[in-house]
Amino acid sequence: MGRKPCCDKVGLKRGPWTIEEDCKLMNFIFNNGTFPCWRNVPKLAGLLRCGKSCRLRWINYLRPDLKRGSFTESEEDEIILLHSRLGNRWSKIASHFPGRTDNEIKNHWNTKIKKKLKQLGLDPVTHKPVEKTDGNKKQEERSETKSEDVPCKEVEEIRVTLNETNDLLKDYEMLCGSFDLDYSYTSSFSMEESNNPLMAQEENSLKQWVDCVDSLLSWDDNFIPLQEENSFPP
DNA sequence: AATAGTACCAACCGCCCATTG
DNA sequence: TCAATGGGCGGTTGGTACTAT
């Protein structure tokens, strides 16, 4: 007996989200705060998406507390450090970067950091120097002479940083000893919980974000506030 | 200008695990 | 105790933009 699919995929929309869908989802979340059951969200928000898709969209893209833009060098260094300790546990790694998502970090690792480590002669999995066979030596020589995206100076800087990072490891471990390593940054919030200063801050940033987006997006006539939109599709 | 190759990232898939009845 | 369920997670894919030939 196999497991039931997370949702009935028949008739559900897939692929990139439209602005209208984003609006519907945001609108629903702004009006309802926390939602214990993602499965019901698409139905209640009037979306033809599965609950998982809504959750992902919110967490990875719509959350008001998301930090946009490329990773700084110090962030990269910390990712490398954390990866050496935690492996591919991206959500754990992401919990150390408020505003960054596990998906974002995973993508950055796979597209940028992995390459940099390889060019440094480090195994991205073990973080240890790679034993070079004749075959991959030649291949690496070729790619190194061809490669221009990481100049020698930069590679040297990364080496220095990594050494510093290793020096920091001890301090970091001490630090982790005094904090809960499993501390996880949670994206869920509730308007009702705004007595909590942190929640209030989050709510405040949410409002600021809404104002900001409001001014940037041309909220067309299709965007109907939830309170006014009493009739959801059956 | 056209085509091929590469990089990037949003989104999906399927498995795992905690919770619930 | 166990099966069903839903959320979370990591791996992978597919589309798009950019670059090289």
* Any domain includes A11: no
The gap between A110 CA and C6 C1' (Å) is 29
* Any domain includes A211: no
Between residue 135 and residue 164 of chain A, the positions with Cβ below 7 Å from nucleic chain B are: 149
Query: What residues form DSSP beta bridges with A122?
Result: A129
Domain ranges, residue A49:
19-62
* Any domain includes A185: no
How far apart are the C-alpha atoms of A106 and A90, rounded to whole Å?
6
- Nearest-CA residue to the C1' of C13? A15
Q: Where are the beta strands (DSSP E) in A33-170?
A: none
Q: Are residues A109 and A78 in the same domain?
A: yes
* Any domain includes A223: no
* Any domain includes A10: no
| Per-residue model confidence as pLDDT tens digits over A162-192 | 555 554 444 444 443 333 333 333 333 333 3
| Per-residue model confidence as pLDDT tens digits over A114-139 | 888 877 778 787 787 776 554 454 44
Per-residue pLDDT band for A95 (boundaries 50, 70, 90) equals: confident
The gap between A108 CA and C15 C1' (Å) is 18
* Any domain includes A88: yes
CA–chain centroid gap for A228, Å, is 33
* Any domain includes A132: no
Nucleotide nearest to A55 (CA to C1'): C7
Q: For residue A108, say whether its CB is under 7 Å from any atom of strand B.
A: yes
Q: What is the pTM of this model?
A: 0.66
Q: 10 Å Cβ neighbour count for A101?
A: 21
* Any domain includes A227: no
How many domains does one find in chain A?
A: 2
Mean pLDDT for A205-214 is 51
Show the DSSP H helices in A15-72 as ranges. Answer: 19-32, 41-45, 51-57
- Nearest-CA residue to the C1' of C9? A91
The domain that contains A93 carries what CATH number?
A: 1.10.10.60
Q: For residue A57, say whether its CB is under 7 Å from any atom of strand B.
A: yes
Nucleotide nearest to A37 (CA to C1'): C6
Nucleotide nearest to A62 (CA to C1'): B10
